[in-house]
Chain A
Amino acid sequence: MTYDTRDSRAGDLAAAGRLASAGLELDAARNALLADGAPDAAALAGLFARVERDVAAERGARARLRALSASARVAIALAAVVLLVGLAGALGHGPPPTAQAALLMLLPAALLLATTVTALRPLQRPTLPAWRRRLADLVPFTVLLALCFAPDLIAQLRGDITVHAGASEALLGGRSCVVAGAAAATAAFILLRWLDRGTPGSTLAAIGAGALASSLTLWALCPSTAAEHLVVGHYGAALVFGAGALAVSAWLRRRVG
């Protein structure tokens, strides 16, 4: 096995030349650094063997999904959520499929698209700055919480009358929504993890996408517009799912090392 260690020097080195004016043997130091970093043939052969083993292990349905293009994977994820919401709408007692009801779903749907694209962002694209990643992780939960406190708007868009529930009714009635919502979020999250190629930082984005998928599903499934119910049941589902997904991810990370 032969390795190409040619030093292809190109481009403008004027800035580097200023170091030479400090009286340093810059070229000698640079050449020494380059030679110092050169790996030996045995180490490279060992590394190639490990790479071949990794590539050979890429078999099965998950490997085939991961090997699809980035746009195909995003399309599959979004199609799955549309199916989930459609199924919830067909089975549940949510609002009739009107333009107004669709408008209600516009903001979380747009956020879901953005979060899914972030969760499945390919590694060959530059990493997002840390502040944008934190924002992308926080925005889904923040927006969902804010929407819980706009029951009049939600009722108006659904063509309903706002109903206010008591605390006990909100707690009892919210349980089934927590379970249904957490299940929908978990299904979306698992699909996103299957489609993910192991991009660092994608877990939190996938959790945000799961929370949004849960919210959309519940709005198609559940007739209640009571703020108390939305906070306890719908937002509660997102929180329960989010906490559970974080805990499992942290446990897996510690286990793998």
Chain B
Amino acid sequence: MNAYVGGDAAAFRALFERYAPVLLRVVRRNVGSQAEAEDVVQQAFLQMHRARADFRAGARLRPWLFTITLNLAREVHRRRGRRRETELDQPGAEPAIDAPPDIGEGDAETRKVRAALESLPAAQREVIVLHWLEGRPFPEVATIVGASVTAVKVRAHRGYERLRATLGRTRQEREE
């Protein structure tokens, strides 16, 4: 990032190659749609370019870039909520069914874990995705989502308990 801020255009490609795959993975877990995830990541790199003057030399890029990306992902959820309200306001309109997230392929167990993850409240899902799937430590997760470490641990605990309850029920149903 320091090289890019200093004017090295090739450094931008290197940054993209390094972070785009993990950002796509994280965002897709949050917004559920591959197309929207790509839009968010595209926006994130544009915002990173615009904000390069704000990047302090020697700072860690990962939390900085993750924060930008998750803020954009949250906007996707807000827009979905506004679209649903607008559709309901039309006279004679029937409640539109929000396009389900593309759960995708994979075996049944994987799909159930994915569905359980996507059923979590957004704040818990963000923390679980960063902590469980991406292996980020709690202090870094706290920096990215903009909460205290304690709040992040509480969200993680609740998220894991909900996943445990959901997936435990699923396994029990399967065994019966």
Residues of A within 8 A of B (CB): 1-5, 7-13, 15-16, 18-19, 22-25, 28-30, 32-34, 36-39, 43-44, 47-48, 50-51, 54-55, 58, 63, 66-70, 72, 122-127, 197-201
Contacts and interface: CB of A to CB of B under 8 A. Distances in A.
Given A8-B135, A19-B160, A198 B105 contact: no
Interface residues of B, number: 63
A7 B25 CA distance: 12
B38 A37 contact: no
A197 B50 contact: yes
B67 A126 contact: yes
9 contacts: A2-B17, A3-B18, A9-B135, A22-B171, A33-B114, A39-B20, A44-B20, A197-B47, A198-B47
Contact of B163 (A19, A23, A58): A19
Contacts of A58: 46, 49-50
A124 B64 contact: yes
Nearest to A31: B110
Contacts of B21: 3-5, 38-39, 44
Contacts of B156: 15
Contacts of A55: 12, 45-46, 49
Contacts of B160: 15-16, 18-19
A38 B22 CA distance: 8
Nearest to A29: B113
B53 A68 contact: yes
Given A19-B167, A126-B67, A37 B131 contact: no
A69 B72 contact: no
A124 B54 contact: yes
Contacts of B114: 33, 36
A198 B44 CA distance: 11
- The A interface is mostly helix, strand or loop, or mixed, namely loop
Given A11-B137, A22-B171, 9 more contacts: A11-B135, A13-B132, A15-B160, A24-B167, A51-B46, A55-B45, A66-B50, A69-B54, A197-B47
A122 B49 CA distance: 12
A254 B141 CA distance: 35
Contacts of B67: 123-126
A72 to B, nearest CB: 8
Nearest to B175: A23
A25 B146 CA distance: 32
A56 to B, nearest CB: 10
Contacts of A199: 71
Interface in B101-149: 104-107, 109-110, 113-114, 117, 131-138, 140, 145-147
A12 B140 CA distance: 12
B24 interface: yes
Given A44-B20, A50-B42, A51-B45, A69 B53 contact: yes
Contacts of B135: 7-11, 13
Given A18-B164, A36-B105, A200-B75, A122 B51 contact: yes
B95 interface: no
Contact of B146 (A16, A34, A125): A125
B50 A67 contact: yes
Contacts of A197: 47, 50-51
Contacts of A4: 17-18, 21
Contacts of B131: 11, 13, 15-16
B168 A22 contact: yes
A69 B25 CA distance: 29
A199 B12 CA distance: 22
Contact of B47 (A29, A72, A123): A123
B84 interface: no
Given A15-B156, A18-B160, A19-B160, A30 B146 contact: no
B68 A36 contact: no
